[in-house]
């Protein structure tokens, strides 16, 4: 049996869950700005008490590794690493966009299209990737500037579900009958339960001392040109 504590702090959502053999048994989450530092450890204690599981009974700590908010990821990963050091437990890192797409597919088991999770970056930029109905990566994780030509090829022959907090600003730009935008929250630690369990069984653990969040820092910022 594997009992895993799971942490998600990549966006404004602060979420903690506990899973046993890939099944979520408890979750605590809240969406609000700048609450991660004050709320994360409280949420962890709350789900531990709720389940009656002791920290020593945990088999691993899983964390959403990004991309996402620099501050949020730093808080989540540092907390996860601290627990791993203190408890001598392995660390599992889950791609945040994959976790989001996984959550959508769990809710729509008969879905046959593509899933495009989006995390709001700045202006018309998002962190995004594309997955098929089996959670295979179709388009790698990257930063993308959204315009009316975005995802044209994907939308030609596929129903595409756009999810995440980055979709709100894209609704009026991506206009296509095959495009569907969901307002539901998929940034929850509960959506990594089966992914964390699979990683645990395969022994896919991170080096706790050297692991860093996936900030996606390689995206190049540009300075807007002044209008004359």
Contact 36, 105 (CB under 8 A): no
Tell me phi and psi for residue 102, to 5 degrees. -60, -40
Q: Quick one: average pLDDT of 66-83? A: 97
- Token pair 């594997």 is at which residue? 2
Say what percent of the chain tops pLDDT 70. Answer: 95
Per DSSP bridges, beta strands 125-131 and 137-145 are antiparallel
Q: Is 9 helix (H, G, I), strand (E, B) or coil?
A: coil
Q: Quick one: average pLDDT of 111-131? A: 96
Are domains 3-95+186-202 and 97-181 of this chain identical in fold? yes
Considering only the top CATH level, what class is 97-181?
Answer: alpha beta
**Choice among 120-124, 137-141, 187-191, 196-200 with the minimum mean pLDDT:** 120-124
Residue 218 predicted with pLDDT over 80: no
Domain chopping of the chain, boundaries: 3-95+186-202, 97-181
CA–CA separation, 174 vs 201, rounded Å? 40
By CB neighbour count within 10 A (0-12 exposed, 13-18 middle, 19+ buried), where does 88 fall?
exposed
Please give the DSSP secondary-structure letter assigned to residue 57.
Answer: G
Report the 10 Å Cβ neighbour count for 188. Answer: 24
CA–CA separation, 206 vs 211, rounded Å? 6
How high is the pLDDT of residue 216? 82
Q: Is 13 helix (H, G, I), strand (E, B) or coil?
A: strand
Cβ contacts of 54 within 8 Å, gap of 6 or more: 48
The CATH homologous superfamily for domain 3-95+186-202 is: ATPase, nucleotide binding domain (3.30.420.40)
- Token pair 């001392």 is at which residue? 209
């Amino acid at each position: 049996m594997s009992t895993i504590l799971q942490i998600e702090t990549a966006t404004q959502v602060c979420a903690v869950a506990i899973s046993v053999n890939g099944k979520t048994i408890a979750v605590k989450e809240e969406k609000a700005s700048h609450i991660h530092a004050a709320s994360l450890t409280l949420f962890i204690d709350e789900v531990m008490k709720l389940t009656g599981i002791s920290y020593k009974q945990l088999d691993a700590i899983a964390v959403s590794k990004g991309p996402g908010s620099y501050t949020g990821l730093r808080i989540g990963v540092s907390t996860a690493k601290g627990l791993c050091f203190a408890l001598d437990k392995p660390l599992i890192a889950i791609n945040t966009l994959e976790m989001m797409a996984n959550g959508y597919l769990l809710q729509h088991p008969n879905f046959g299209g593509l899933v495009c999770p989006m995390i709001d970056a700045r202006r018309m930029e998002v962190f995004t990737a594309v997955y098929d109905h089996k959670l295979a990566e179709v388009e790698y994780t990257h930063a993308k500037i959204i315009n009316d030509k975005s995802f044209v090829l994907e939308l030609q022959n596929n129903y595409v579900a756009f999810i995440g907090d980055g979709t709100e600003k894209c609704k009026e730009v991506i206009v296509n009958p095959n495009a569907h935008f969901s307002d539901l929250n998929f940034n929850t630690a509960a959506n990594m339960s089966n992914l964390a369990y699979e990683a645990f069984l395969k022994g896919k653990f991170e080096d706790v001392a050297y692991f860093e969040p996936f900030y996606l820092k390689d995206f190049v910022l540009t300075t807007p040109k002044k209008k004359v």
